[in-house]
Amino acid sequence: MRLAVLSDIHSNLEALESVLSDIDRRSVDDIICLGDIVGYGADPNACLELIRSRARFSVLGNHDQAVNVVEERIHFNPSAERAVEWTASLLDENAREYLASLPYRVSFENLLFVHSAPKDPTAWEYVFSGFEARLFGRYFAERICFIGHSHVPGMYALDASVRGYDPTQRYLINVGSVGQPRDGDWRCSYGLLDTVAGSYENIRLEYDVETAMKKIVASRLPKNLAGRLKAGL
């Protein structure tokens, strides 16, 4: 099985299209989405339609939740809050219901998928290090837990002595962000797991970042949301 794992698309249509066309060239069996389909970017409806039609399933991200649950926006900075308000005003009832229907966690083929962290996926915790990943390791039984949320890709073996990817070992893997990477590299990030070849790869791809930035400015979203795309921050 070849599985593409996408997270944190954040309404960036140019980035999502770049990732989907790369996936189409790699004979992938299934696409899984780890949430934050919307928020920050200028194309929430188009990104939702693409994920709904292409992904086997998606879990719920904190920005997806904040579209419907206004109290959740208290944790957001002013730009994120403005973007979620703008997003909510653009989505129809059907799109809102889809976001409200997304689960916090899905277990599939001995793999766990959550947006933030496996201990309590409703708490929106961040995992930034191998040390933190190993603390979370006791909270899932599957071989791999896939996460997003920090927008920083990383592969953490639960056994600290393991180097690289070994299909007999257990991991917590952050696939990074499709639409707003924050590791200083502006290119889209997603994960590709091949259970037959026994490999995992973090894929980085260029996309039309200038168009995505222009659309943010034209939509009167906060300008810093455009600038950070180019900086990868």
Distance CA 95, CA 45 (A): 8
Distance CA 56, CA 134 (A): 28
Stretch 30-69 residues interacting with Zn ion (CB under 5 A): 36
The nearest distance, CB 61 to Zn ion, in angstroms, is: 6
The nearest distance, CB 152 to Zn ion, in angstroms, is: 11
Select from 7-15, 134-142, 183-191, 205-213 the region that touches Zn ion (CB under 5 A): 7-15
The nearest distance, CB 231 to Zn ion, in angstroms, is: 16
Select from 2-10, 12-20, 153-161, 206-214 the region that touches Zn ion (CB under 5 A): 2-10
Stretch 114-133 residues interacting with Zn ion (CB under 5 A): none
Judged by CB, which is closer to Zn ion: 8, or 14?
Answer: 8
> How long, in residues, is the chain?
233
The nearest distance, CB 89 to Zn ion, in angstroms, is: 20
The nearest distance, CB 76 to Zn ion, in angstroms, is: 11
> Between the CA of residue 6 and those of 68, 92, 151, 175, what are the distances in Å?
22, 24, 11, 7
The nearest distance, CB 207 to Zn ion, in angstroms, is: 17
Judged by CB, which is closer to Zn ion: 8, or 43?
Answer: 8
Distance CA 7, CA 162 (A): 25
Distance CA 227, CA 172 (A): 30
Are 27 and 58 spatial neighbours (Cβ–Cβ below 8 Å)?
no
Determine the residue with CB nearest Zn ion.
36
Task: Assess 8 for contact with Zn ion (CB under 5 A).
Answer: yes
Select from 1-9, 83-91, 106-114, 128-136 the region that touches Zn ion (CB under 5 A): 1-9
Ramachandran region of residue 213, left (φ > 0), alpha (ψ -120 to 50) or beta?
alpha
Total residues in contact with Zn ion, by rule CB under 5 A: 2
Judged by CB, which is closer to Zn ion: 61, or 137?
Answer: 61
- By the 10 Å C-beta count (0-12 exposed, 13-18 middle, 19+ buried), 138 is classed as exposed
**What is the residue type of 181?**
P
Are 31 and 6 spatial neighbours (Cβ–Cβ below 8 Å)?
yes
Interface with Zn ion by CB under 5 A: which residues?
8, 36
